[in-house]
Amino acid sequence: MKLICGVDLGGTKLSAALFDQMGVLIGKEITHDHVNETTDGIIRVISELVQNLLKNNNVLLPDIVGIGVGLAGHILYRKGIIITTSNFKVTFTNYPFVEKMKTYFPGVKILLDNDANVQALGESMYGAGKGFESMVFMTISTGVGAGIVLNGKLLRGKNGTAGEIGHSIIEYKSKYMCTCGNYGCAMAHSSGLFLPELYRYKLESGMTSSIGLNLDNISSFDGHFLKKGVNEGDNISISIMNESADIIGTSVFNIHKILDPDAVVLGGGLLQLGDKYMSRIKNQFSFLMQDMMESEMEIKLSEIGADAGLLGAASLLLE
Amino acid sequence: MKLICGVDLGGTKLSAALFDQMGVLIGKEITHDHVNETTDGIIRVISELVQNLLKNNNVLLPDIVGIGVGLAGHILYRKGIIITTSNFKVTFTNYPFVEKMKTYFPGVKILLDNDANVQALGESMYGAGKGFESMVFMTISTGVGAGIVLNGKLLRGKNGTAGEIGHSIIEYKSKYMCTCGNYGCAMAHSSGLFLPELYRYKLESGMTSSIGLNLDNISSFDGHFLKKGVNEGDNISISIMNESADIIGTSVFNIHKILDPDAVVLGGGLLQLGDKYMSRIKNQFSFLMQDMMESEMEIKLSEIGADAGLLGAASLLLE
């Protein structure tokens, strides 16, 4: 059976891997050579990485189903175009990614989607979402994203932007401004990018912190600091973790109300906070569910782990 | 070509109608005889009404595809069971509706779904949603409900409760309590059932009203009063209409973020407020969209009108 090739294109790390169709890793290559390249240069670095990957594993192009690529960005899946990105030194703008890739791999099937979508598909085929007719994968990381899988297929929507639960408004009268310019987006209350802001709000509301950050150096308050603070019993850190979990639990409830899926799978960096965080998310969901009569929706942790982006990208070829 | 039969079962009005498969009305019967009946009695009244409808139009059972039924309630579509209702004098609880109907119509295809879903399907097949690959119908009435149609099929979800956008949380720290027991549900800020409460909040916040209602008689503040107040330039009425429109516009934005459909179709009693209301909903949506690059999602008014429930119910047979 042919292999599937996945590419995970991040701002600082670019990786490519081969898997068999059961999701077993055959080989992997990693580089950082793309970081300072132009957009076309990044395509060249990707193609070199994939060529090396194939060569090092004695695999020929006819032996693979194709190449699936995942990246953080706004993507038109059907056209293979990147509308815009924000995680790279250069910005891809209305960039014909698939067409450009095909100049290096003529005749090869090449598919492109955003990182939340590919991870959702990967979890649904090989991870915590396996066996469910409908599932939503939600990642709580720098931002909050989601991918919706119905009957084994991603729901992409008209523009390919379905699943943007992080930018749905969860607090209509919020004072928390999101990077998108709106107030009250779920991610502005809960995700990594906003940790310094959340910390600032807590300080300004009169709370005190034992981790030694003040208004001058709060920009260094990231996920690692948050975890450290929580573990050391720091008031502000615990309060931020709880607020994030309550907002995510409420978002999971909203997903339930709107889509009624079989399961919601949670992944992303903030889940590293561990069981305290996950339990609170589940508790908030149960609190809002009260005694409603729907049969229980499962809330599960992502199971794929470190290679989620790679396996997810590769799984596009089997959708 | 066979006809389709739709039944619209409301608390005070029960109607049944025959349509051809192009959605043209062939005949209609209305009764109120079910109002004081038991659950089984209601089934008997429905069957008599349908039998009369067929007889009066010289239609035999083999001439119809089947009977589709819509009602306000919590329904397990696949099993044809009503889990619960709140709009009838009696409560249907885990009631095998389809099975009971089949005792009167053995061998006839009988389908049951909730009112928002059947209206969504009707609009998608015959109304404002026609021709779109994906559309969401949202009704702003006593409560707020929605039906999601993807590729001509309703997205019902695991329990059949998908589309409950009215109970999604839109203001996390709201003081507005919903009938479901949660705070901040979209419907608690925007729908008919909550008009007296919204009026009370405005009075208590110090606003004055020119329509002669005070804390003792606000329970009569309904959709008609609201429309009258708005037309007469009453402060509180205008403020309530605007708040409702802003919340509905925000809900439409959330639908766009999560599902990215081709169109959202709006119906239900509050749209009787007219263009002032609809324009404000659209403005709030545009305000939140800012200059986001997605191609425009259409926001349209329901087109089916008075027989939406009947035609929607009948359209279940062609899903």
Tell me whether B255 touches chain A (CB under 8 Å): yes
Tell me whether B257 touches chain A (CB under 8 Å): yes
Q: Do A158 and B292 touch (CB under 8 A)?
A: no
pLDDT of residue B302: 96
pTM of the model: 0.93
pLDDT of residue B313: 98
Angle (nearest 5°) at CA A284 between A278 and A290: 135
pLDDT of residue B254: 97
Q: B1-25 burial, b if ≥16 CB within 10 A, otherwise e?
A: eebbbbbbbbeeebbbbbbeeebee
Spell out the domains of chain B, with CATH numbers in brackets. 3-122+307-318 (3.30.420.40), 131-302 (3.30.420.40)
d(Cα A193, Cα A222) in Å, to the nearest integer? 8
When the pLDDT of each residue in chain B is averaged and rounded to a whole number, the result is: 94
Tens digits of residue pLDDT in B164-183: 999 999 999 999 999 889 99
Q: What averages of pLDDT result for each successive group of 10 residues across chain A (319 residues)?
A: 96 95 97 96 98 98 97 90 88 96 97 96 97 96 94 92 94 92 94 93 92 86 94 96 97 97 96 96 95 80 92 97
- Pairs of CB atoms within 8 A across A/B: 128
pLDDT cut 70: percent of chain B above it: 99
pLDDT at B114 over 80: yes
Tell me whether B277 touches chain A (CB under 8 Å): no
Among B148, B158, B160, whose Cβ lies nearest the Cβ of A261? Answer: B158
Among B159, B173, B257, whose Cβ lies nearest the Cβ of A167? Answer: B257
Nearest CA in chain B to A82: B293
Q: Of B86-95, B133-142, B205-214, which one has max mean pLDDT?
A: B133-142
Tell me whether B168 touches chain A (CB under 8 Å): yes
Best B113, B161, B172, B296 residue to mutate vs chain A (most A CBs within 10 Å)? B172
d(Cα B244, Cα B140) in Å, to the nearest integer? 9
Residue B180: its chain A contacts at CB < 8 A? 290, 292
Tell me whether A289 touches chain B (CB under 8 Å): no
Q: Do B133 and A158 touch (CB under 8 A)?
A: yes
Q: Do B170 and A173 touch (CB under 8 A)?
A: no
pLDDT of residue B213: 84
Q: What is the mean pLDDT of residues B86-104?
A: 94
Residue A158: its chain B contacts at CB < 8 A? 133-134, 260-262, 294-295, 297
Cβ under 8 Å to B: A residues 121-160: 133-134, 146, 148, 150, 155-160
Q: Do A164 and B254 touch (CB under 8 A)?
A: no
Q: A30-43 burial, b if ≥16 CB within 10 A, otherwise e?
A: eeeebbebebeebb
What's the length of chain B?
319
Angle (nearest 5°) at CA B56 between B55 and B59: 50
What totals of helices (H) and strands (E) does chain B contain, helices first? 8, 12
Q: What is the mean pLDDT of residues B45-50?
A: 98
pLDDT of residue A201: 93
d(Cα B177, Cα B184) in Å, to the nearest integer? 7
pLDDT at B85 over 90: no
**ipTM value:** 0.92
Tens digits of residue pLDDT in B265-314: 999 999 999 999 999 999 999 999 987 656 789 999 999 988 999 999 99
pLDDT cut 90: percent of chain B above it: 86
pLDDT of residue A294: 64
pLDDT of residue B134: 97
pLDDT of residue B146: 96
Best B179, B242, B255, B257 residue to mutate vs chain A (most A CBs within 10 Å)? B257
Tens digits of residue pLDDT in B212-230: 888 888 899 999 999 999 9
Q: What is the least distance, in Å, from the CA of B11 to any CA of chain A? A: 22
Residue B250: its chain A contacts at CB < 8 A? 169, 172
Best A136, A149, A158, A255 residue to mutate vs chain B (most B CBs within 10 Å)? A158
What's the length of chain A?
319
pLDDT of residue B131: 95
Task: Tell me B141's DSSP state.
Answer: S
Task: Please name which of B291, B293, B297 lies closest in space to residue A81, comparing C-alpha atoms.
Answer: B293
